[in-house]
Amino acid sequence: MGRLRLPQITATIRPSFRQSAPMTLAFEDFPPGHFGSYGPRRVTREEMLAFAAEFDPQPMHLDEEAASRSMLKGLSGSGWFLCSIMMRMLFDGFIGRTASLGSPGVSELRWLAPLRPGDDLTLDVEVAEARVSRSRPDTGIVTLKGAARNATGAVLCDMVTPIIVRRRAELTLGQAG
């Protein structure tokens, strides 16, 4: 197998807004509560195998027979592949138009059920907490909870991750200068 090749729609990185009229989301746009649902996004067998071959070549991700004997009882996508898809869904959903300065990491990550070829994924996102940074008051820390579900509603993965986002006053000052 060669290098990972994703469908063109997932491999193209471009802002989901026009450069002449950006709709930048600031810290104040993240009140606690349900934020959004993104997808569905179909997962193909070919991309699962390509990812596994390059990044996570365990038998349950590459070989149908070995996978059938595993505790997963069938071919399953790597958890890291699922995390990559979740990140793409976050970016396409809102991060790409957020005044995000990045993330200090992932606080929690759990793989709860196997990702299967042909799964249609939906990502539900909740803002668990939003607070102004004590050390950098021009930014806020938004803690997101994400749950990736298949078409039957089963949660395959959940995560908790903080992101650092500029406050609206900082964006306004930057546009005035």
Contact 100, 25 (CB under 8 A): no
Tens of pLDDT, residue by residue, the chain (177 residues): 455 555 444 433 334 444 443 579 999 999 999 999 999 999 999 999 999 999 999 999 999 999 999 999 999 999 999 999 999 999 999 999 999 999 999 999 999 999 999 999 999 999 999 999 999 999 999 999 999 999 999 999 999 999 999 999 877 765 555
Q: Tell me the pTM.
A: 0.84
Torsion sign over Cα 79, 61, 122, 152: negative
